[in-house]
Every structure is written in C-alpha cells, then in structure tokens.
Chain A
Amino acid sequence: MALTLTLASRNLFHDSLRFIATMVGIVFSVVLVMVQMGLYLGFGHMVTTMIDHAAADLWVVPKNAKSFEDPSLLDLKLRGRVAGVDGVATVVPLVVGFSDWRLDSGEMTPVFIVGSDLHDGALQPWNVIDGNVQALSQGFGVAVDRSYFERLGVSGVGSTAEIRGKKVKVVALTDGIRSFTTTPYVFVDLKNARSLTGTPPDRVGDLLIRLKPEADRDKTIAAIRGEIGDAEVLTTAEFRDRSRAFWLFGTGAGAALFAGALLGVIVGTVIVAQTLYSSTKDHLSEFATLRAMGSANNYIYHVIIYQALINAVIGFAVASAIGALVVQMTAKSALPIVITPWLVAALAALTVVMCVISAFGAIFRVVRIDPAMVFMR
C-alpha cells in the first residue's frame, strides 16, 4: 500500500481539534441534507398516500385538478359513458371534500372526507386495527386513524361526533394513515360522503377506473378521453406526479426543502475546504520536502484527496447513524422522514463529491509550492 494513505490519515488525525471541526462540518451538512431530502420523500409519499392505496389503473379527474384533495367536481353521467368504453372493467365514483367535525364538547375541527362505494372496493381504509370496514355502510359509520384521537375527541370504536349536523360513529380504526395537511382523513361510505361534504347527488369528485386485463391501455385512454369532454384521464403515475408537483413545488414546500439541502451542501463544502486548506498550509513544508525529493505533483494530490475521502467516509458514517436515529424518532410523527437506499447512495456520493471539491483549494495551494523552501533556514 502506498504511504499516501498513511500520510493522509496521520495528517488528519494529528490535529484532533481540526479533525473534530471538520467532522462537525461534514456531519452537520450531511444530516441537514439527509433530513431535508428525507422530509421531501416523506412529504412526497404522504401527499400521494390515497392515490397509492387506491385500486385504480386510471383516474378521471376534473379539468386541471391539481391533486387528490382538489375540490372540483365531475358530472356523474361520465361514469356511464366511461363504463361503456371498450377495455374498461369497472368505474368507481369517489366523493371527497373538506368538512367540519364537531366534538362532543362542541369544538369544531376540519376533516377531509373520503367516500367510496365499499362494495367496489376501489379506495377503502387500510391498516385497520380495530372495528369493521363493512360497518361504514351502516348508518353514518366512519373510520379514523388512531393518531388523531385527541384531535377528533374520540377514544376508539364506538365514539361519536357530528359532521354537518349528522351524528357519526367510529366503526373502524386505522394506523398510520396521516394527512400531510394535518387535517384528519375520515373514511365513509359513498352515499354518506355526499351528505357529509354537501356534494350534489349528480356530482362526484373523481372516477377510479380499472381496466380489463386484456385492455390496450393507450387505446382505452384515448377512447375515454373522447367520452369525458373537459375532464381529464390520468394514469395513477401521472396523477401521483401531478399531486406531488402541486404540493411540493406549487406551494413552495419542495423548493424550501431543496434550498435547505443546498445550504447544507454549501456549508459542508466551505467547512471542509477551509479545514483542508489550513491543514495543507500547516503541512506545506512536508509537501515541499516531498517535492524536493522528487515526488510528482500527483503523489501530493493523492495525499490531499485521501484526506478528503477519509473525511467523507468517517463523516458520512457518523451522519448516517444520526440519520437512522432521526428516521426512527420521526417514524410516528406527523411528517416522517423517509430515507431510501437510493437516498443513502446519493448522499454517500454527494459527501464524496463535496469533500473532493473541497480539496481543490488545498491542491491549488500545493501546486504553487517551491521545493527550494526546504533549504531556507
């Protein structure tokens, strides 16, 4: 093994205070980027959670509907027209909308009603931990997530409240269906959803389409398009992308997260560059000695790059451990941080790139070294 790595590690660890400062810089930077990007991914998953859990191949949505929560409505007649298109297996209407939940204490809190036909099963509550989803069709049965107990003033199955003057009863409990808007989702039967949201009987929010297995997707989409006038037909992926684009970039939330991540990269780069430069300056006479002995510039660059890489590896390892802790701590929070293997790989690459770029300042300094300086007394 070349001594460049030994020299690099000794240079780094020799000055423990500077090494710690470098590590703090890298860890701060990587954790900041990790959290920002983890929030971005978590946010991205959350805003599409309903779309992801709907059993639909295609969505018919009102023109320019920005997301699942868009309050625009469709004419219910479209259901029949779409159902008649060759290749379409089922068309399930969905009624969604904001409403007010009145607690027994008289307090009001906004909720988001999700109503679909339970027999069609296109969008039903999942992760049910108590109660019975089928009971949603009995009276005004509702399903809520247990994380909203306090907010909704309920304690479990059997609790009651009032929505738009209708007494509703909790008949099923879910776990982990949280809304990014912090407004609790309330699952109800389709017919109840109309009265709980004030949706007219001839209107629906969206139509969820399932295709026959043998259907030609593109041709079916084109045929549906011809039947729905102003409305739009989207694949699940398209609707997901549109929802994410709206919530993450239309609202500026995503841009803010990226700006935070960029700030982290800049801070990290500056700190590592500064500490590497000062370390190189402190070891200038050693680098000049190497040069006087006849080492190629490349040899010295290797020492500096290795220093940068050692910083990157140790810094990333520490940051990853902190990141794992943060993921664990936020798993049950309103906005869990999601760290995927891809994000980890991207962050590892980013850390290495950041540290190597930081080494350029030090390398430019070393290029100007005069080996004759070792003869100056």
Chain B
Amino acid sequence: MSDVIIEARDVAMTLGSGARKVQALRGIDLALKRGELTLLMGPSGSGKTTLLLVLGCMLTPTAGAVTISGTVTAEADKEGLAKIRRENIGFVFQSYHLFPTLTAAQNVQLALDIRHERGKRARLRAREALERVGLAHKVNTRPGELSGGEQQRVAIARAIVTDPSVVLADEPTAALDGDNGRAILKILADSAHERGQAVLVVTHDPRIIPFADRIIHIEDGLLVKQAEAEPARLPKVAPFGSISALRSDT
C-alpha cells in the first residue's frame, strides 16, 4: 500500500473574476504521507488556507488534480466531495467550531453519526477519543464550560475519532498559550506517528516546528520550499492528567 494519502499534481486555483481575479495557487505539487506531520507555513495571503481547502475537498482546483486515497476529487460532485471528506479526512479548525448545545462526547460522536455509526459503540469510541486527548473527565461538559485549550482538544477528538487517513488542521494553536499549543501538537504528532495518519497543519506558529516531520513554505500561491524537519527536540509535554495548567488555560 502506498504511503501517499493525498497527492496534488500541478494544482492551480483562481479565485474571483474580472479585475478581482486572483491566482491563489500555482503549479502545486505535493504529497502527504502516512505517519507524517507536515507543517504548511507562509505569510498571510500566501495561499495556505486555499491549499488546505483544495486538499480538504472543499474547493475544486481550476487546474491540476488532487487524489485522496486513490480517488480523484475532480470527478466528484458536491455530495461526492462530502463523502470523500467523511470517509478520509478529519478537520481541526482554528475557531474549534464545536456545537455549543451538545456535550463534549456528543460533539465527538457527531463525526461518527454522520457516518451512520451510532449506538453504544459510537459512544464508546467518542469516549476513547476524548481519553486520548485527556478529556475523559469532561465527556458531559458543554463547550461553553471548557477552556480554549480543552475546546480545541475536543475538536481534535472529533477529527480523529473516525480514524481518518488524513487530519487537516487550520492554525490549531493560534488561540492557545504555549503549554496548550504544545499539548495540541503532541496529540497531532501522536496521531501521525502512532496511528499512521497523514497530518497537515497550517500555521504561523514557530513553536510548532519541533513537532514537524516536514515543513512546506508557500508564498504567492507557490510552494517555495519543502524540507524534512531536523530531528525533533520536542519540548517536554506532560501527560494531560498531570498538568493542571492545561485545564485552566485561556
């Protein structure tokens, strides 16, 4: 089985029209591999989010091809793209996008529910996912009663509960302090290294660099640099259960 989960070949993306036309992506060639945490870095307006949307099957490129687990996305309609996302991709959003009226467990379960995985098994899987992010004690808590770091961990639990082949994270640490940011990246790195998922993190945050296996730089819609990260000297991240700071953060 190939290690490449997502492959972009000569991808271009034009946004807007007429005088407001913008070439957001140009000739992107990229492969995200199983078991690898890749950072996508670049200045604002460089095309990071557009590339994430294209790789996440939310935008169809105007040229080139994206293949996810062997499926060419250009051939799918909206529902087809949703199916690809549902079956292959877990998303982590900068603003968490949790459902405020549901408990943490229900928020996580939602990712299973849309795949028609329900009942006791789904509840168990949601609980396990929350355990993995250190929130076993918060299963019945609603997002409004959680700190920012905890909310992001619930969002990660929701992204990984289905064991997707790819996790796409958009600035997951932007709103978090150092400890929480590192804790979040530790979970994502574990997802890549221990569970063999391809993890792509879009970020501005240099604190994340030590967790990366590969760093990609994008500027003006072009990949300007792809490099293997140096052997990680990961900062110490204590287990969730023992860091009280993680439970009373921003």
Residues of A within 8 A of B (CB): 1-4, 6-7, 10-11, 14, 285-286, 289-297, 299, 370-372, 374-375, 377
Contact = CB atoms under 8 A, between A and B. Distances in A.
Residue in A7, A286, A292, A293 with the greatest tally of chain B CB atoms within 10 Å? A293
Interface string B81-123: 0111111010101110101111000100111011100100000
Contacts, number: 85
Contact of A2 (B79, B113, B171): B113
Residue in A1, A11, A292 with the greatest tally of chain B CB atoms within 10 Å? A292
Contact of B86 (A3, A293, A377): A293
A294 B97 contact: no
B99 A7 contact: yes
Interface in B12-30: none
Interface of B: 49, 52-53, 56, 58-59, 79, 82-87, 89, 91, 93-95, 97, 99-102, 106, 109-111, 113-115, 118, 158, 170-171
A291 B171 CA distance: 20
Nearest to B171: A377
Which 9 residue pairs are nearest across A and B when measured between Cβ atoms? A294-B86, A10-B101, A294-B85, A295-B114, A289-B97, A3-B113, A372-B58, A294-B82, A14-B101
B59 A372 contact: yes
A139 to B, nearest CB: 79
A26 to B, nearest CB: 22
Per DSSP, chain A at the interface is helix
A294 B84 contact: yes
Given A295-B86, A371-B82, 4 more contacts: A7-B99, A289-B93, A293-B85, A377-B171
A295 B82 contact: yes
Nearest to A370: B58
A289 B56 CA distance: 13
B99 to A, nearest CB: 6
A297 B79 CA distance: 7
Contacts of B109: 3
Contacts of B59: 372
Contacts of B52: 375
Residue in A4, A285, A374 with the greatest tally of chain B CB atoms within 10 Å? A374
A4 B109 CA distance: 11
B85 A292 contact: yes
Contacts of A374: 91, 93, 95, 97
Contacts of A295: 82, 86, 114
Contacts of A2: 113, 118
Contacts of B118: 1-3
A296 B110 contact: no
Contacts of B84: 294
Nearest to A1: B118
6 contacts: A2-B113, A11-B101, A290-B114, A294-B86, A372-B58, A375-B49
B97 A291 contact: no
